[in-house]
Each structure stands twice: as C-alpha cells, then as structure tokens.
Amino acid sequence: DARVTQTPRHKVTEMGQEVTMRCQPILGHNTVFWYRQTMMQGLELLAYFRNRAPLDDSGMPKDRFSAEMPDATLATLKIQPSEPRDSAVYFCASGWGGVGNYGYTFGSGTRLTVV
Amino acid sequence: DQQVKQNSPSLSVQEGRISILNCDYTNSMFDYFLWYKKYPAEGPTFLISISSIKDKNEDGRFTVFLNKSAKHLSLHIVPSQPGDSAVYFCAASKNQAGTALIFGKGTTLSVSS
C-alpha cells in the first residue's frame, strides 16, 4: 500500500532553533505539497512542487521558511529560526499532476512544538 | 480571505441518521471539489470528489451535491455510523495540472450509537 512518509512524527524544539521536516512522496508522483494545520486556520497551503520545481510558495513566511526537493524521493521543509507561533502539524501530500478523481495522498504529519 | 468556508465547526448525529456537511466557496474559478476525512494523529484521507460538470456524485453511503449557482456543496452520509466520527474537510481546486487544493477549516462530525 503506497504511502507518503513524513519524519519526524513529533518534534519539540526551543525558540530560535532550526527545524527540518522531511517527506518521502509516493514513488512516481510528480507533485508534492506542504500544508500546515492549526486550530485557527485549518489546513493552509505553504508550498508545492511539480517535477521538483517550486510552483508556488506564497503561503510561506519567506524570511524563515524554506522548502526544497533535493531529489524526486525527498522533500524538505525548514524553519530557521523557529518561533512559538510555528507550532502546528505540518503535512506533506503527493499526487499526479492533475487532482483527478482520487485527490492527493497525505502523510501522517509532523507535530511541531516550539517552546 | 477564505475561499472555501465550512461554517459549522461541529455536527452531532445519531447512528443510522443522515449527516449533512456543508461547504461554500467564493472563487468561481474552482471547478473540482473534494471531501477529505481526518482521524486524530493521522493525515487527511480522500473520501469523494465532484467535477463542476456534475451536480451529484455517489459512492456507497457518501453523496456529494454541488450547486454551482450558489457556490455551495454538501456531503451526505447515509446511514451514519460511529466510525464516521472524524473531521471532514472540504477542498477545492482549479482542475489543472499541478494545482493545489484549497481547504476549508473542517467540520467535526460526532456519530453517537
């Protein structure tokens, strides 16, 4: 059963530290998304890639967040420096180019707590 | 400015009854709509979708209705089961290659036995 794998599942860090979250998309999927879930905003789109090229990162705070796809099997989301307001669950999702009839597949998320 | 709105944060229903979850959108460019279901400590999972060329799509106990003129869609679950208790997210997309899903804030459904 193909799945999107996210690591770590949980991360507690101190304010000011760098945080790196990783995502392994489903093999063959060419589109990768990063979403953030908070109580206030629900699921917010942060950035997404197609064929490893960034298509849109307008949802990310540019001064502290960065997203990359070093290769087709790995997507990373970095926060430097982290702040308490970054505490949230971060989801990665992958899929084919068009949303089609099956939506995109989400990972189980990384729960980030910044103290 | 929220483009996809789920105005009911929660809904409680008895087992066997119908659950109706609602969603409104503002962007007329959206032409593909999806519902996702999310259990605690898991990622959202795809449930059902509908293209703007249709007004209804059915999959077992789940039916999605789309009213384009009102920019409104709804998810009907009949009959509701306790295992349906979860957060339901409505999402919309411009059905082009590589476009992202824009989500509502979700509705928590509780089905009691």
A33–B101 CB contact, under 8 Å: yes
Model pLDDT, residue A58 = 87
Residue of A nearest to B104 (CA): A42
- HEC-encoded secondary structure of chain A: CCCCEEECCEEEECCCCCEEEEEECCCCCCEEEEEEEECCCEEEEEEEEECCEEEECCCCCCCCEEEEEEECCEEEEEECCCCHHHCEEEEEEEECCCCCCCCCEECCCEEEEEC
Model pLDDT, residue A100 = 65
Model pLDDT, residue A99 = 63
Model pLDDT, residue A97 = 67
The answer on pLDDT for B86 being more than 80 is yes
Tokens describing residue A47:
């950035």
Q: Are strands B4-5 and B19-25 parallel, antiparallel or unpaired?
A: antiparallel
Looking at beta carbons, which residues of chain A come within 8 Å of B104?
A: 42
Which residues is A80 bridged to in the sheet? none
Residue of A nearest to B57 (CA): A101
Model pLDDT, residue B98 = 57
CB of B88 less than 8 A from some CB of A: no
Mean pLDDT computed over every residue of chain B: 94
The series of mean pLDDT values per 10 residues for chain A, 115 residues long, is 93 98 94 92 91 90 94 96 97 81 88 98
Looking at beta carbons, which residues of chain A come within 8 Å of B36?
A: 103, 106
Distance from CA of B33 to the nearest CA of A (A): 9
* Residue A98 CB coordination number (10 Å): 14
Q: What's the CA gap between B84 and B111, in Å, rounded?
A: 7
A97–B97 CB contact, under 8 Å: yes
Measure Cα distances from A74 to A13, A28, A59, A80, A105 in Å: 23, 12, 20, 19, 15
- 73-92 of A, contacting B, C-beta below 8 A: 91
Q: What's the CA gap between A30 and B53, in Å, rounded?
A: 26
Q: What's the CA gap between B4 and B26, in Å, rounded?
A: 7
B44–A106 CB contact, under 8 Å: yes
